[in-house]
A and B are shown apart, each in its own frame.
Chain A
Amino acid sequence: MKRKNAVAFAAVCAGLSLLTACGSGSSGSSGGSSSSGGAPSYNAGNNSVVNPSTKAGGTLNYGLSGVPDSTDPGSTYYAYMWNFSRLYARPLLTFKSAPGTDGLKLIPGLATGMGKVSSDGLTWTYTIQSGLKFEDGSAITTKDVKYAIERSTNYSPGILPNGPTYFQQYLTDPTYPGAFKDTTPDKLGLKGVDTPNDTTIVFHLQHPFADFDYLVTSPQTAPVPQAKDTGTKYQEHPISSGPYMFSSYDPNKGFTLVKNPNWTQASDPNDKQLVNTINVAFNVQAADLDSRLLNGSMDIDLDGTGVQTAARARILGNKTLQTKADDAVSGFLWYAALNTQVAPLNNVDCRKAIEYAVNKTTQQTAYGGPIAGGDIGTTVMPPTVVGYQKADQYSFIAQPNGDVAKAKSELQKCGQPNGFSVNISARGDRPKEVSAAQGIQEALAGIGVKAQIQQYPSGSNFSTYAGVPNFVHQHDLGIIMGGWAADWPDGFGFLSQISDGRAIKAAGNSNLQEENNPQLNQLLDKATQSPDASARNKIYAQIDQILMSDAVILPEVYAKSLLYRNPNTTNVFVTEAYGMYDYTQIGKSQ
């Protein structure tokens, strides 16, 4: 979920001015008070609620430099839409609206509590609150939740194509044709989900999956009333189950939300319904959007990936502006995958040589430096992922400029003392990525390795080029530049798609290094079957460690975003679950 999918992220970035790509920011630890109700100061929003207030009324103006993949909760994958859609589409569970690590805790949404798992781990049961209503006053039942899942990308990828497909992968009945082609009379034919009564929903899994609670935070579990489903046009007016509902929608200009009269605070203690109106303007030019944020005519950049270069310079160069900014950890890792199938990188020692040789400071600078780019990465999982364990196998921090001596000795071990030739793939329309690739090229030249950079368009990078193993082998793409963030903020959500050998696909592949290590696959299975969270977290740390010692991933930076808060906005803080401001809480002071 979330933009954590590299492909989805490609689109986020493509929509932005590529000058800053999608990361930015500096450490969340400097400045800011740790108590809730922090005063406006630099980074205060990273660990406290800035401008706490219960004042109601006003209009909140969001801007977006592009358009969302979709406002249909069943067909969206961007992190910002998963965050924002909660205002009109309440999932079964959601993340606690709180600053700091508390924001990673799961709390009930429509449900009354966490899922109850059967002893064999194959059945998950949720109970939803009774008496909940849609915006039109009709009752919300678990049938609406089941229908929402049936119609989503999971089973209708050709119709609502943008979301993830985890339910289709994990639930029984994976060949269900989707609600729109369902021939059963009530169109509720999916056998993987049962609704024994109006408040109970039961999910049947093919294999035990301990992270299932995270899966149901997806907007795909937000109820959709079948009678009001307008299919591909549903995005123009999703029927609201949250505090706000659609009042207008234009595919190129934006949309407006107003208060949902059938929502009650008592049934939804987590969300807030403060402002009267929420406007979202599409296609606001990225640099202009920043100017509007700074002059106060716009409140929030919906995208949540931080301001562009010009605004960043202005904010960081001005103490007053700085007190209104937060350098938030975005949850992204920028990395280079070292492909295990392209000779001579099929030899672990050759890959290790690259790990040692690359200048990490150059990589950090390429992505925008410590504030706009992020901290130097030393592990696969970034620090905001549950299960992260600090480690630095190759002493990236102690020797940020690379260790040429060790790199050369690794080259000896792999039988290439004079170096070798290899190709690096980078997305040509991402200047930062290209610049990072050049940094690698330069560092490798220092140990006699000749690297050629091959550039591909980001839009088709995974469908046609770097995500197609055959293409990778034919073009000797030993080093593949990429970015990744978790679909949900725990180790499995981050690691499964990029480390599971069974996840290697003929096209649209995310396991760019093509690592198919049976030990890793077993560990992932073990984690999904382990009901104990701390045991799972240990496994994730172990997987991370193996990926690093196999030298298949060269971490570059843990990405950050420099976010600007309009001083007129209230209850502002960064939710670690999405790596941006929590959009369910924000009000307006004037």
Chain B
Amino acid sequence: MITFIVRRLFGAVLMLLVVSMVTFAVFFLVPRIAGQTTDQLATQYVGRNPNPTEVHAMEVKLGLDQPIYVQYGRFLKNIVAGEDFDTGTGIVHCPPPCFGYSFKNQQEVWPQMLSALPVTGSLALGAAVIWLISGVGIGVLSALRRGTVFDRAAMSVALAGVSLPIFFTALLSLAIFRDSIPLFPDAGNYISITVDPGKWAEALVLPWVTLAFLYAALYARLTRAGMLETMNEDFIRTARAKGLSERKVVVKHGLRATLTPIITIFGLDLGLLVGGAVLTESAFSLPGLGRFAVNAINNQDLPEILGVTMLAGFFVVAANLIVDVLYAVVDPRVRF
């Protein structure tokens, strides 16, 4: 088991390195190949009437005059060892993990991501709880009551859930439950759970439900399909023949086998979401990582884009790792 985890950890680090290389290449190599000079990259940082001296000084300050591998090496080194940035008015120390310094809004990238992370975390975890419970629950019930009105109704709603885009359901939920019937007047107005748990929940209920609606639908369909298949397996018949209660048969034998693929996608989904629920955060104006990423892209703020991409990559890789470990717990057939 330990060897397995160590091996996977090593793989995960390697994977993150590859992600960082690709991301770095996309933002620093591709523009050069496309003909953009480092001067042009630097120009956007020096005001409206840039003069060549200022542009060159900025180029040096950003390290754009260095070969690309040196820049990449420095980027990696900063994450591990930290870096001092000269803002022109003083030195800003960026302690590890230093994901760079944005000369656009004069902020270090990491603290900004840290400040956005609880928002996205709250959103993703809350929604995940809702969709996992409701999705799997509905899926199991549908499978057990196959062909009934409940099954058909649940699967129709699930189909709608998968088909409706977030920006539609989000706006609809806001229009109905905030603007017309003010059940959640402060929906989307994020307040930290440590400040006011009530307001925190009020701001997030609609985003949770909206986001969960999309995912729950998928999970319900997956669970239903898995359960239908599992419940026809021989071992279920054996379990029933042993005289186990139906509850035990369904939960302990049927559901457990069905859960393996569910856990796989759940880990990936959650990992992806924690890296930024872009559409939901944008629609509800939640200041999370997804919104941070969108703004960074709009502002062409390279250190921020790079940082948020790396962080999102980290979550996906970490989620994968956890899923692999969980396999063993859920599926007795998995051995290390």
Contact = CB atoms under 8 A, between A and B. Distances in A.
Given A233-B106, A235-B106, A153 B298 contact: no
Given A157-B46, A291-B178, A291-B179, A459 B300 contact: yes
Nearest to A159: B88
Contacts of B58: 158
B175 A232 contact: no
Nearest to B287: A253
A156 interface: yes
A8 B89 CA distance: 24
Q: Which of A153, A165, A231 has the most CB of B within 10 A?
A: A231
Interface string A168-210: 0000000000001000000000000000000000000000000
Given A15-B298, A250-B115, 6 more contacts: A180-B88, A231-B90, A282-B287, A285-B284, A295-B178, A295-B182
Interface in A453-501: 459-460, 462-464
A471 to B, nearest CB: 13
Contacts of B174: 288, 291
Interface in A210-235: 229-233, 235
22 contacts: A5-B48, A67-B105, A153-B47, A157-B49, A157-B50, A157-B51, A162-B47, A164-B48, A230-B89, A233-B106, A250-B287, A251-B107, A252-B287, A252-B291, A252-B292, A282-B287, A284-B285, A288-B174, A291-B179, A295-B185, A459-B44, A463-B44
B188 A158 contact: no
Given A231-B90, A288-B284, A291-B175, A161 B295 contact: no
Q: Which of A67, A252, A294, A463 has the most CB of B within 10 A?
A: A252
B87 A232 contact: yes
Contacts of B57: 158
A505 B52 CA distance: 13
A251 B50 contact: no
B287 A507 contact: no
Contacts of A231: 87-90
B112 A252 contact: yes
Contact of A165 (B40, B49, B90, B112): B49
B148 interface: no
Interface string B32-73: 000000001001111111110010011000000000000000
Q: Is the interface of A mostly helix, strand, loop or mixed?
A: loop
B70 to A, nearest CB: 23
A297 interface: yes
B282 interface: yes
Nearest to B88: A159
- Range for the number of chain B residues in contact with chain A: 35 or more
A504 to B, nearest CB: 13
Contacts of B141: none
B45 A161 contact: yes
A15 B186 CA distance: 23
Contacts of A460: 44
A67 B291 CA distance: 12
Interface in B282-319: 282-285, 287, 291-292, 295, 298, 300
A562 interface: no
B54 A295 contact: no
Given A153-B47, A161-B46, A463-B43, A289 B285 contact: yes
Interface string A283-299: 11101110100110100
Nearest to B300: A459
Contacts of A285: 282-285
A425 to B, nearest CB: 18
Contacts of A281: 189, 285
Contacts of B284: 285, 288
Contacts of A508: 48-50
Nearest to A153: B47
Contact of B186 (A164, A180, A235, A297): A297
A159 B89 contact: yes
